[in-house]
Homo-oligomer: A and B are copies of this chain.
Amino acid sequence: MARTNVKARQRENEGSRSSRGSGADVLKSLRKAIRVLECFSLQEPRLSLSDIARRAQLPLSTAHRILATLRGAGIVEQEGDRELYRLGLKLFELGSMVLANMEVHREALPFIEELSRESGETVHLGVFDGSQVVSIEKMDSPHGLASQVTIGKGAPAYCTAVGKALLAFQSESTIDHVCRLGLTRHTPQTITDPGKLRKELERIRALGYAVDEREHQPDVRCVAAPIRDHTSNVIASMSVSGPATRIPKERIPLLAVRMKEVAGKLSARLGYTGRHPVNSP
């Protein structure tokens, strides 16, 4: 009995330590391996053992053991025997499967192309990962400027059109979470006040589209509309974006109408009927 209580208490403590809600603190070894993978970034795609050990806060021998296992599975790669590590092909294969199975991505492709052609600007499709926007498709118009955003890389949700169009339809607690992570200023126009952000999201819900008024990159405007699936939940959003000179404020209302129209068509293809949300108890 005494023993059981001790264990239970230990588990509780561990739970509160992670402070991340519905996660699990179990499988510490696996968590460490994930920490190792998270060390890699677009900026630093190649890391040495000691770099990784430092970043993941693991002893050298532990990091080494994890990397050896990951390498054996093709999840990380290493040129020679004593070279830098990088993420491996297996990870790419697994990652591609995520997209291939994402219905919205498949269904969106023709709409994205159509929008890109008719607007002459860059079109984005993004989903929400709980705190950031992940761009899952982008198409640059041949005439437009190539956009800076990379597919697969996270971008802030609170200062991009795609992000705000998604964030506006998330739960209150999710919005709280994003605010708590901090609203970092990227341009003079970035909304950094949680109160103002909430007002903005309110407006987005009312209008049915979001505008990025040079809030993320200077001199870039975007217009985005939310996409719903058969459960009526907003699961993605779509934007057009371009240099502020080419997308003046006057052009926004028309673009917004068009984006809402296309997002509506796409939502319909995903089974959205406009009825009340399906409750998941």
Q: Which residues of A contact B (CB under 8 A)?
A: 18, 20-27, 29-31, 33-34, 37, 40-42, 45-46, 65-66, 68-75, 79-81, 86-101, 127, 129-130, 134, 136, 150-154, 280
A66 to B34, CA, bound (A): 12
CB contacts (< 8 Å) of A280 on chain B: these are 79-80
CB distance from A119 to the nearest CB of B (A): 19
CB distance from A83 to the nearest CB of B (A): 9
CB contacts (< 8 Å) of A37 on chain B: these are 94
A69 near B101 (CB under 8 angstroms)? no
10 additional A-B residue pairs with CB within 8 Å, beyond A45-B97, A93-B95, A93-B129: A22-B71, A26-B65, A26-B69, A31-B72, A37-B94, A45-B100, A92-B99, A92-B134, A93-B154, A95-B95
A94 near B97 (CB under 8 angstroms)? no
A178 to B29, CA, bound (A): 33
Can you pick out 14 interface pairs between chain A and chain B where the beta carbons lie within 8 Å of each other?
A20-B72, A22-B72, A23-B73, A24-B69, A24-B71, A24-B72, A30-B66, A30-B69, A34-B73, A40-B97, A86-B98, A93-B153, A96-B150, A96-B151
Assuming A93-B152, A95-B152, is B101 touching A45 (CB within 8 A)?
A: yes
CB distance from A156 to the nearest CB of B (A): 15
A90 to B153, CA, bound (A): 10
Q: Kindly report how many copies of this chain are found in the complex they form together.
A: 2
CB contacts (< 8 Å) of A68 on chain B: these are 24, 26-27
B150 near A100 (CB under 8 angstroms)? yes
CB distance from A59 to the nearest CB of B (A): 14
A89 to B20, CA, bound (A): 14
B27 near A69 (CB under 8 angstroms)? yes
A94 near B89 (CB under 8 angstroms)? no
B69 near A31 (CB under 8 angstroms)? yes
CB distance from A105 to the nearest CB of B (A): 10
CB contacts (< 8 Å) of A41 on chain B: these are 97
Q: Which 8 A-B pairs have the closest CB atoms?
A: A95-B95, A96-B152, A23-B72, A45-B101, A27-B69, A24-B68, A92-B98, A92-B95
Assuming A22-B71, A101-B45, is B93 touching A94 (CB within 8 A)?
A: no
CB distance from A71 to the nearest CB of B (A): 7
